[in-house]
Structure 1
């Protein structure tokens, strides 16, 4: 298998490039990734918004993974990267018509959320579905070594508001377990939900980090009196983007998660937090 990861310099994309089994691997990104470079993974420079460059980049690869994402809309817009970017991938795959496989890293709740992030992910899924050999992979919160989620969780735990909204279920999935599902689902088409069996809210995750650092738990407020102000105070910290908080307060747990089907012993988020090296 020849694999190219679009958006491969990011956390999920770089881990896919490093850990998926392939005869040849490349990553297409605006910026280089030092770890990938040190492992000899080929870098193809380019923007997902450059249709001609994308078409040329994907031409010789039988598996194309779209892991392009936006951490903040300060630099790029969700619609541009998720919708226009996906169209720039899909069009050449349809033109080449050589049976190339398209794997799109999407998100649980793409058709239920009201944020621009989730709406654009949903449109991207619809575009990906134009490719016959496609798979939309919908993870919950992804964690693992050197991720962006856990360090910020500890930062919030160190200076948390006096109360946190208790809604939602983030059901975090480890990056290597996510990759196991992607590889094992090689014959599947359509969409797969990937969440863990750990039912834990975002507020409970913050309190796990507080416990790890010897702090007392923050009061958790359920929907009702004080809930709205708790959400606003959380967003005012600016440690997590507003769209992330909105997503974390949704239910990301799925009874039909493909973790059960393809991963025998998933990595537990609670254990990861307990073993986390805060100085790292």
Structure 2
């Protein structure tokens, strides 16, 4: 089918925005997910008949084959932030990427985009970073001209960073400063990342490139926690946690991964925070794709307000209280 793109993991936080961006390009999009009945809203992201949802399990080659049949391009947006049950970093980021890329190549897919992460490194002490590197290698083994997209921390209304700490600011007397809070992050807006991925799908000049995507400003972890407190209107202590202490807490929190509750911190995430998560400056990024990065301050207030006392009516509540 002409102009058909299959997006694996297309119902996730980033994947859904990638689907929307591809649809805006006029492309037909096939969203491959494990549980299609939970992704029915995906069809609303495009015109009637433009987006279809199919079942696929990245462990099952037959289901991958059905998902990529007739597609000209494939985007792999499958990823996890912590391990639970059968969802392990190696099986999802490494083996999953290999299965998708290998089957896609055999099916005649012409273009492949692998969504990775800044910090992907086969020698990293972090399992997340090591397996992201495995996924990149698998994509390039099957598609030497595959496009690798490495975003920093991705933010947006349904993100797993600002929302997590916003919720924590509501229930906890303190926010943690992992390693003292001096590590640097360069949050990038989900809308910018999705535009970048869509550009990589349609622009042949992107073939074989590796892009590092970061926002306009690199913040310390402390600065980001201060933004969370300012936007939620909460007064909370910022508690420095040395890496060994944070790692121990993360190890205990991983027990929560055995339940439907997402762990607030994991040992592997602590390991990641030991290194700055910023663009290196040696690889192309948003500017080379013609995209102006969106500032944290332009977006985050629009969704962190719900963690204020009074939620969307916080300003009015404060005005009445002062009257």
- Structure 1 length-normalised TM: 0.87
Residue number in structure 2 paired with 1:195: 214
Please say if 1:51 is aligned against 2:61.
Answer: yes
More helix by share: 2
> What is the deviation of 1:220?
6.3
Q: Which moved more, 1:226-235 or 1:157-166?
A: 226-235
Partner of 1:80: 91
**1:202-213 matches, cutoff 5 A:** 202-213=221-232
CA positional deviation for 1:83: 1.5
Structure 1 gaps of 5+ residues are none
State the Cα distance separating 1:160 from its structure 2 match.
5.3
The correspondence for 1:28, drawn from 14, 27, 32, is 32
Note the residue ranges of structure 2 that are not aligned, 5 or more in a row: 254-262, 313-323
* Residue in 2 that maps onto 1:11: 13
Root-mean-square deviation (CA), in Å?
2.5
Kept in 2, the 8 Å contact 1:3–1:24? The answer is: yes
Distance 1:23 1:233 in 2: 47
The secondary structure found in structure 2 opposite 1:53 is: helix
CA distance in 2, matches of 1:44, 1:252: 34
1:89 to 92, 100, 118: 100
Residue 43 of structure 1 aligns to a residue in which SS? strand
CA pair 64-166 structure 1, distance change in 2 beyond 3 A: same
Relative to structure 1, the CA distance from residue 233 to residue 78 in structure 2 (aligned partners, 3 Å threshold; closer, same or farther) is: closer
CA distance in 2, matches of 1:240, 1:215: 21
2:185 to 157, 170, 173: 170
> 1:93: how far off?
3.0
More displaced, 134-143 or 191-200?
Answer: 191-200
What residue in structure 2 maps to residue 109 of structure 1?
A: 119
Contact kept? 2:164, 2:264, Cα under 8 Å: yes
Most deviating of 150-159 and 1-10: 150-159
Counterpart of 2:196 in structure 1 is: 181
Cα distance, 1:106 vs structure 2: 0.3
Are 1:151 and 2:163 an aligned pair? yes
> Number of aligned pairs?
275
How far off its partner does 1:202 sit?
2.5
Deviation at 1:264, TM superposition (A): 4.8
Is contact 1:51–1:88 with CA below 8 Å preserved after alignment? Answer: yes
Structure 1 residues 139, 64: CA separation in 2 closer, same or farther (over 3 Å shift)?
A: same
Question: Closer, same or farther in 2 for the Cα pair 1:214/1:91, shift >3 Å?
Answer: closer
Say which of 230, 234, 257 aligns to 1:215. 234
Q: Is the 8 A contact 1:152 1:240 kept in 2?
A: no
User: Aligned equivalents of 2:273 and 2:96: distance in 1?
Assistant: 25
Matched-pair contact (CA < 8 Å) for 1:156–1:206: no
Q: Distance in 2 between matches of 1:261 and 1:91?
A: 29
Q: Distance between the aligned counterparts of 1:88 and 1:163, measured in 2?
A: 38
State the alpha-carbon separation in 1 of the partners of residues 219 and 300 from structure 2.
13
Q: Is the 8 A contact 1:211 1:217 kept in 2?
A: no
User: Which structure has the bigger radius of gyration?
Assistant: 2
Structure 2 equivalent of residue 122 of structure 1 = 133
Give the C-alpha shift of residue 230 in structure 1.
5.6
Q: What secondary structure sits across from 1:36 in the alignment?
A: helix
Aligned to 1:239: 264
Distance 2:21 2:225 in 1: 29
**TM-score normalized by structure 2?**
0.76
Distance 2:148 2:88 in 1: 21
CA distance in 2, matches of 1:27, 1:80: 20
